[in-house]
Structure 1
């Protein structure tokens, strides 16, 4: 599955949640429902690599809808990878191990493909979604420095 959205690094450190862009800006205030949903995850310290997307009725991401900012309330965070958890850098572990760790982090033991809802009005703002070509996927250098 290919997503067409904004690449973000989601960081949770206790009650603090940041959505960091490649340029180093925090968008947690832009998408507060995502930050709210992240706070429902049992694990208090983790870093996810993913993308903010708006999905059309066909389930395909719509970059024009995302970029227009007219559909901000529909933005979801699709996590491709867990980079750190509980203070441990996980980037050298195999993707299958990282996926298993993310499974354990999800509240209620949900599967990695499950989503965490922030409230009944919004659908699934956070999900773990394998990205096409994830094995070759690299962080942008600015994101790498921040980690």
Structure 2
């Protein structure tokens, strides 16, 4: 029987980890959500959206073929590791988009949905994970996502200090149901940075963004979530600065580029040079008029 891709169960984003002892806490690795299927047609690797990326993950697929089971569906995160031992999303993007499959990928497996003809999705998550732990070979590039001991607050403190992307908390007893759920929760690690606002991007149907530079280098966009009065104050400041230089590598018509002098504080994922999941939290005029980008 050919097994079909199962739409993933998706954790909801929370600001703080859950309280209580009835939660399993795992590291949130910075990579691509991946579903691995083995059936009579062999091994297949799928993205979160159900695209077949087996060719891009060829070396992982060869290792998955060695798992001793007739059929399975398990999920994990495909990652690359940098010299500091941390998952590196930008290196992963480059490796996956290359012409040749990279042998330097890892897969951290965290849930088992199907095994040897049995649908396991109605089992409690802790039982599915226990079975998965016994199935994963270990020692290679496919690893099991170990639970972190301690309370949610304690785990988040450790994850934050280690400059990891965040954590995922899963309620004990939860069954697997495709789509968003608050029984799985992701808590990301953020930091705040002060950067120069060098442009704004306002397109119909899309959330407005400010475009930022740090130490003269373009770093990307941050979404604006201000209330009406503060948003109006921002636009008033922006209008007086339209006509600034276009950063190297950017298109003139991509945004309204601004003259130097406007500074913003952004909340962005920790440990990243460029902005990711960023939000503008404040802005002000820099009377020194510093700016310029390369």
TM normalised by structure 1 equals 0.74
Of 88-97 and 128-137, the range deviating more from structure 2: 128-137
Distance 1:134 1:45, change over 3 A: farther
Tell me if structure 2 keeps the 8 A contact 1:18–1:35: yes
SS of aligned partner of 2:37: strand
Tell me if structure 2 keeps the 8 A contact 1:8–1:52: yes
CA distance in 2, matches of 1:57, 1:139: 37
**After TM superposition, what 4+ stretches of structure 1 lie above 3 angstroms from structure 2?**
136-141
Partner of 1:125: 141
CA distance in 1, matches of 2:119, 2:146: 20
SS of aligned partner of 1:20: strand
CA distance in 1, matches of 2:73, 2:146: 16
CA distance in 1, matches of 2:34, 2:79: 10
Instruction: Name which one, 1 or 2, has greater alpha-carbon Rg.
Output: 2
Partner of 1:144: none
Question: How many positions carry a matched residue from both structures?
Answer: 127
TM normalised by structure 2 equals 0.39
Higher RCO (CA-CA < 8 Å; seq separation 6+): 1
Mark the runs of 5 or more structure 1 residues left unpaired by the alignment.
108-113, 116-123, 142-147
Tell me if structure 1 keeps the 8 A contact 2:36–2:74: yes
Bigger share in helix: 1
Q: Which of these residues, 24, 32, 36, is aligned with residue 50 of structure 2?
A: 24
Cα root mean square deviation, aligned: 2.4
What's the CA shift for 1:41?
1.0
CA distance in 2, matches of 1:15, 1:40: 15
